[in-house]
Amino acid sequence: MRIGLLGGTFNPIHIAHLRIAEEVRESCALDQILFIPAAAPPHKKMVGSVSFHHRCAMTRLAVMDNPAFTVTDMEGRRSGKSYSVDTLTLLREDNPEGEFFFIIGMDSYREIHTWKDYPRLFELAHFVVVGRPGYGPESSPHEFLPTAIQPQFCYDEAPRMLRHRSGNTLIFLKESMLDIASRQIRRLLARNRSIRYLVPDQVTEYIHTHGLYAPGR
């Protein structure tokens, strides 16, 4: 099975997350997209008091109408920081026959050298780098590869693709790049503004029911 992995704080999940997942699923002919809410993200300070439980619940609500989308709470079931290399290692142990595609935005990819044990990430999964507003795919796929691991890659026959010595690929996609950010949604909610059409309706209902991101919280 070809499985896309989309991690994030999802604080809250929004339409751009879902659209990226759908476009990568289609472009890479994936069977499934697994959303992985981060319990304790090592590279991002959690804003507000929204718990992992709520973020995971919102993510489940957001994907419930797509049979190709599913959610795991695996990062909330282990202690310590939610390092991607640990998550990928566990996923491969649980599903050794699976073919994993790790989905990452261009902004995060440019900082991959700061991630824990980053060279091993490319051995554990294919990488799918998607453009983000202000961070479009660059002219050279090699450009933001850390110097230390560049010799491990060579150009593939397909355009905008590199192949790692493990056989995994590094794929660059330019998708719709909807300019929506979770911080934008939190700011609107803090000012009692509408978030309609930015998040799925069921997520909006959950936010209001539980008083998440309300002014003064």
Tell me whether residue 41 is in a domain: yes
pTM: 0.92
Q: Contact at 8 Å (CB) between 204 and 196?
A: yes
- 3-class DSSP state of 59: helix
Q: What is the count of structural domains for the chain?
A: 1
CA distance 20 to 23: 5
Tens digits of per-residue pLDDT, 97-155?
Answer: 999 999 998 888 989 999 999 999 999 999 999 876 665 555 455 778 898 999 999 88
Q: Which of the residue ranges 76-90, 93-107, 144-158, 184-198 would you say has the lowest mean pLDDT?
A: 144-158
Tell me whether residue 185 is in a domain: no
Instruction: Read off the pLDDT band of 196 (50, 70, 90).
Output: very high
The H-or-E segment that residue 155 falls in is: strand 153-155
Q: Contact at 8 Å (CB) between 110 and 86?
A: no
Neighbours of 66 (CB within 10 A): 13
Q: What backbone phi and psi angles, to 5 degrees, belong to 84?
A: -60, -35
Q: Is the pLDDT of residue 3 over 60?
A: yes
Tell me whether residue 129 is in a domain: yes
Q: Which of 158, 146, 122, 126 is nearest to 2 (CA)?
A: 126
Q: Contact at 8 Å (CB) between 4 and 25?
A: yes
Q: Contact at 8 Å (CB) between 28 and 101?
A: yes
Tell me whether residue 199 is in a domain: no
Tell me whether residue 211 is in a domain: no
Which of 5 and 105 is assigned the larger pLDDT? 5
Biggest CA-to-CA distance, the chain: 54
Q: Contact at 8 Å (CB) between 43 and 111?
A: yes
Tell me whether residue 13 is in a domain: yes
Q: What backbone phi and psi angles, to 5 degrees, belong to 92?
A: -70, -35
Q: Is the pLDDT of residue 46 over 80?
A: no
Domain that holds residue 124: 2-179
79-83, 147-151, 196-200, range with greatest mean pLDDT: 196-200
CATH of the domain at 54: 3.40.50.620
Retrieve residue 32's tokens. Answer: 């499934």
Tell me whether residue 204 is in a domain: no
Q: Is the pLDDT of residue 32 over 90?
A: yes
Tell me whether residue 66 is in a domain: yes
Mean pLDDT, the chain, rounded, equals 90
